[in-house]
Amino acid sequence: MSEDEFPDVSQLSDDELRASRDELLAAAARTPDDDPELPYMWGWAGEWSFHLHLRQGREDDLSRAADALPRAFSARTARAAWDEDGEVEGEGHGDGEEIWYAWRVLYGQVLLCQYDQEPAPALLQRAEEQLTAGLAGLPDSSPFAAGNAPLARLLLARTSAARYRGAPQDDPGRADLLAAAVRRQRDALGDHAAGSEEATELYGSLGDLTFEQGDFGASVEHYRTALAGAAPGADVPLLRYGLATSLLMGGRAAADRERLREARNEFVRALAEARERQRQQQGASEAGDPWWAWQARADIEAALHDVGAELHLQGDDPKGLDPSFVEDTFANASPMSRTNPEQIEEIRSWGRDRAVPAGRSLTTAAPGTAGPSRRVVFMGD
């Protein structure tokens, strides 16, 4: 059974697609389990249900997609048991049979949409398994690979990063999750041109993840690349704040005063850009500070606190203060994000629910918040 036997859903209205989907579901329900067409019927019913969900946002369509696609895979596994040669007709690299791997990618998307509605870690893990299986089964020569392989790599990048960020601090496998997330971001970068929304997102994510690895030099370069080619709508102030934090930590580690000066300047610039961005969005003459501003101030004030105390001992005379003392104090300060991680995590949790992550457009959001930003490739269109 090929896609040519089914209508082109891009040519159908919502009502026509819904009627075709419902008819196919009814036909699948009365088809014998040993019918070789049954796996395909469930597969197309799952795909059409997902199309309907994307068009109209109805949760029942997403639920039907989540039900139909596993039925397709199960029916296909059953066919293997009935085949006297023990081979499933189709899930190899035969003519058009790569659709089964494309449907694995599709099912990964369905699971991520469910994760958007209810962020359960098990959904992320299942999505990662389906995306990985789908990507592994799509040869470069497959007509399905052109759209689905880049999509799978991008979704795997997002999924692996989300799995790492959601892992408890005491999870013994957290370092492995971090390494996997970094690798997935790099795998996905080759599919996207510099300056695209996806490239900005991936470089920003790499900046954050390599910071978590303690590779502040790499983090700085990733943030610089993201800022140099930031896509329209990207949260440039948040990217710049990430750059400033990496400069601060890298400068401290290397006692690099130039980097510390640059970190201070980037913090100030990021805050000014964030305020201007909010004024433009809200149409107000004044705007509140971004969610990360408090943390930025905490990092800076931790570095400058001792400077103020020393200035006071000098009789509040700036001329009596050795400039090298300011720089040395700034270099030796320990940011609050390191000395009080529990309090900072509370702030980050608050921000994740309210802020647009770096690299995403203003009309989209990350997995786990309203309106997932995902480029969906339809199969059969």
Task: Give me the pLDDT at residue 31, please.
Answer: 95
Q: Would you say residue 366 has pLDDT above 60?
A: no
pLDDT digits 0-9 by tens, 344-365: 455 445 444 444 444 333 333 3
Quote the pTM value. 0.76
248 falls within a domain = yes
Give me the number of domains the chain comprises: 1
Task: Give me the pLDDT at residue 255, please.
Answer: 73
Give the three-class secondary structure for 234: coil
Of the pLDDT bands very low, low, confident and very high (cuts 50, 70, 90), residue 251 is confident
Q: Would you say residue 218 has pLDDT above 80?
A: yes
Residues listed for the chain:
381
23 falls within a domain = no
133 falls within a domain = no
Domain of 232, in residue numbers: 215-369
Q: Averaged over 215-241, what is the pLDDT? A: 94
Task: Give me the pLDDT at residue 308, please.
Answer: 45
269 falls within a domain = yes
- Return d(Cα 75, Cα 40) in angstroms, integer: 9
- Return d(Cα 89, Cα 82) in angstroms, integer: 11
100 falls within a domain = no
Q: What single string gives the DSSP state of each residue in 75-113?
A: HHHHHHHHSTTS--SSSSSSTTTTHHHHHHHHHHHHHHH
Q: Angle between the 197-212 and 236-254 helix axes, to the nearest 10 degrees?
A: 30
Q: Is there a contact between 168 and 130 (Cβ–Cβ < 8 Å)?
A: no
Task: Give me the pLDDT at residue 358, please.
Answer: 40
pLDDT digits 0-9 by tens, 84-109: 444 444 443 343 578 999 999 999 99
4 falls within a domain = no
Q: Averaged over 26-52, what is the pLDDT? A: 95
Q: Is there a contact between 281 and 296 (Cβ–Cβ < 8 Å)?
A: no
29 falls within a domain = no
Q: Would you say residue 21 has pLDDT above 70?
A: yes
Q: Would you say residue 271 has pLDDT above 50?
A: yes
Helix/strand/coil (H/E/C) assignment for every residue in 169-201 = CCCCCHHHHHHHHHHHHHHHHCCCCCCCHHHHH
2 falls within a domain = no
